[in-house]
A and B are shown apart, each in its own frame.
Chain A
Amino acid sequence: MSAVRTPLRYWLQLAATLAVCAFLVVPVGLSILAGVTENFFIGVKSGLTLRWVVQVWDLYHETVWRSIGIALACLACTLALGVPAAYALARAQSRLTRWIEELLVLPVAVPGLATALALILAYGTWRDFRASWLFILVGHVLFTLPFMVRSVLAVMMAVDLKTLEEAAASLGASFRERFFSVVLPNVRSGILAGSLMVLTLSMGEFNLTWMLHTPLTKTLPVGLADSYASMRLEIGSAYTLIFLVMIVPLLVALQWAAARAQKRGA
């Protein structure tokens, strides 16, 4: 409709943006393509196949299930620990709690390798624990808990939970009643956003897990590294494809939940 000619600058900017996008997306696309190509060195003309995907599944399906299991267990732990912790922080606003909030980001700031080393130093001698997937779970909980707490805490602060609870109490609601009828429903968006974040981070966690795993407790990202190092390129790529299929829906849901939480808070 506009009679004004679109300026040249607009087209230049668009071209630059598209070029950057292509730079980032092409490698992912190539990798996916490699996973379904008969022989990547010959190229797509060698034919497309799901053979590699099937082979990866045969070799590594345990890591997929383990990763899902650990992510869900991690979610359960962060919910059980993180929601009450956020609640306590939101209710007892003081200088001390603000310090604790700041300290909460520490596990994120410290390199995962260092955290893992500390865990091994402290608990490595407990042989059964060290050898089990629970050891990895502890690392994941340590790493993801701050994300849950901060996500829930942000919503709790935005809805002025303290006054809502005082209102509920004045109407006769006991602590239990207010927690389930007023607190939880009003911070649902924060819990959802936090949960998706925890799942995504746990599924993709490599740093910590690489240090904590044993040959019998490989997770998906560790398996990926393993396949890149020791398998043919097509298998590694097919493995990446499986990882993407699992993680992308989570990322999309995460964006959606975050947008929703923000709308709620405003």
Chain B
Amino acid sequence: MAVAIHLERCGKTFPDGTRALEPLSLDVAAGETVVLLGPSGCGKTTMLRIIAGLESPDAGGRVLFDREDVTALPIERRGVGMVFQSYALFPNMTVAQNVDYGLRVRKMARPERDKRVAEMLELVDLASFGARRVDQLSGGQRQRVALARALAIRPRALLLDEPLTALDAKLREQLRVEIDRLLRSLDVTSVYVTHDQSEAMALGDRIVVMERGRIAQAGTPQEIYQRPATAFVAEFIGTMNRLTGEVVDGCLILPAGRVPLDGLAAREVMFRPEDVRLVAAGEHHLRATVISSFFLGDHTRLVVDVGGTSPLVVETTERRTWPRGETVHMAIAPGAILAVPGQAP
């Protein structure tokens, strides 16, 4: 049932000349969940629509499901399940009729259809909602119906276009967990488009970060987070601090102190807020002044000034308050420092 998806040199130029997608290739293994992540206008939705068959790639591009070339196949013959940001449930049908639609179109026998519909509603925890009208459901329930409808046809691939974006934060979290459970248990190849990096981290076996129609980096969430390939990826995923100084004896020299580079030969480096520890004076690499502090419950986020470059963001679990102007001493965890990609050493 689950197929591998291969995109070969798929680009997209719109009739008005805008290049939405540079010719690019991507392989999604059978059963894998790949998240296309990027800011709006990066080409992620265009890529999803090319996989779905809602857009065709520019000449020369090919879309393959396993070894079958589906480039010329319209969406209705590709056998993909789609979930949209706006749910796209049919308002003229009940919940059950929505889930049944794809089966009815396939001219499946009635008893089998009824059984499958019940099964699918069970799967998304809406077993007793079959007779409801769509407008009687909450946003989260609607998206679960949309999932059931897409999965009912036993799709060769499940394509999700920002499915959680229209929901409020709490529901988004709940449904994300539910989608994760579904994707893991059903072993269906899925491509998931989002601009939300925490969604991407939570759901993706692999994340493809996109920037202006190109793939900036593709890799596991850990790779993307810990070894960003470009400055854009580093800054788009999570928070990244940057420091620029002079390299002397394997250390980065700054007005605020010296940072050991662990053999790195870069005068421009970056590191994550959680890799900074507040330490006693004397054990520190850097000295800084607190600009502002945000108490976030389980931790406190400090914005500190180290003189010269842009302020740094630091996270600490220490239970105390940090008045503005206080001097803090910081050490950066060994191995956490990265060279800014694309910079000459």
Answer whether A and B are interacting partners: yes
Which listed residue, B54, B79, B88, B91, touches A172 by the CB 8 Å rule?
Answer: B79
With a CB–CB cut-off of 8 A, which chain B residues contact A185? 92
A187 to B54, CA, bound (A): 23
Interface size on A, residues (CB 8 A): 18
With a CB–CB cut-off of 8 A, which chain B residues contact A173? 76, 101-102, 105
A171 touches B91 (CB 8 A): no
With a CB–CB cut-off of 8 A, which chain A residues contact B90? 164, 167-168, 182, 186
With a CB–CB cut-off of 8 A, which chain B residues contact A163? 84, 86, 88
- B52 contacts the other chain (CB 8 A): yes
B92 touches A172 (CB 8 A): no
- A131 contacts the other chain (CB 8 A): no
B84 touches A174 (CB 8 A): no
- A177 contacts the other chain (CB 8 A): yes
A166 touches B106 (CB 8 A): no
A177-B54 in contact given A163-B84, A182-B92 (Cβ < 8 Å): no
A166-B54 in contact given A171-B101, A171-B102, A173-B76 (Cβ < 8 Å): yes
With a CB–CB cut-off of 8 A, which chain A residues contact B52? 170
- Report the minimal beta-carbon distance from A94 to chain B, rounded to whole angstroms: 9
A177-B105 in contact given A166-B54, A170-B52, A172-B77 (Cβ < 8 Å): yes
- A154 contacts the other chain (CB 8 A): no
- B238 contacts the other chain (CB 8 A): no
- A160 contacts the other chain (CB 8 A): yes
- B166 contacts the other chain (CB 8 A): no
With a CB–CB cut-off of 8 A, which chain B residues contact A159? 91
- Report the minimal beta-carbon distance from B330 to chain A, rounded to whole angstroms: 50
A-facing mask of B71-88, CB < 8 A → 1, else 0?
A: 000111111111010101
Of chain B, the residue at the smallest CB distance from A160 is B86
Of chain B, the residue at the smallest CB distance from A182 is B90
With a CB–CB cut-off of 8 A, which chain A residues contact B86? 160, 163
A168 to B54, CA, bound (A): 12
Of chain B, the residue at the smallest CB distance from A171 is B102
A167 touches B153 (CB 8 A): no
A29 to B306, CA, bound (A): 88
With a CB–CB cut-off of 8 A, which chain A residues contact B101? 168, 171, 173, 181
A171 to B107, CA, bound (A): 12
B77 touches A166 (CB 8 A): no
A171 touches B88 (CB 8 A): no
With a CB–CB cut-off of 8 A, which chain B residues contact A181? 101
With a CB–CB cut-off of 8 A, which chain A residues contact B74? 169
B82 touches A167 (CB 8 A): yes
- B272 contacts the other chain (CB 8 A): no
A193 to B343, CA, bound (A): 65
A186 to B89, CA, bound (A): 11
- Give chain A interface residues in 162-200, CB to chain B under 8 Å: 163-164, 166-174, 177, 181-182, 185-186
A167 to B86, CA, bound (A): 11
A169 to B76, CA, bound (A): 5
With a CB–CB cut-off of 8 A, which chain B residues contact A174? 76
- Give chain B interface residues in 27-79, CB to chain A under 8 Å: 52, 54, 74-79
A164 to B92, CA, bound (A): 11
- Report the minimal beta-carbon distance from B215 to chain A, rounded to whole angstroms: 25
B54 touches A171 (CB 8 A): no
With a CB–CB cut-off of 8 A, which chain B residues contact A182? 90, 92
30 A-B Cβ contacts within 8 A? A159-B91, A160-B86, A163-B86, A163-B88, A164-B88, A166-B54, A166-B75, A166-B84, A166-B88, A167-B89, A167-B90, A167-B146, A169-B54, A169-B74, A169-B75, A170-B75, A170-B81, A170-B150, A170-B159, A171-B101, A171-B105, A171-B150, A172-B76, A172-B79, A172-B105, A172-B153, A173-B76, A185-B92, A186-B90, A186-B92
4 other A-B residue contacts (CB within 8 Å) besides A160-B88, A167-B82, A186-B92? A167-B89, A170-B75, A170-B81, A170-B150
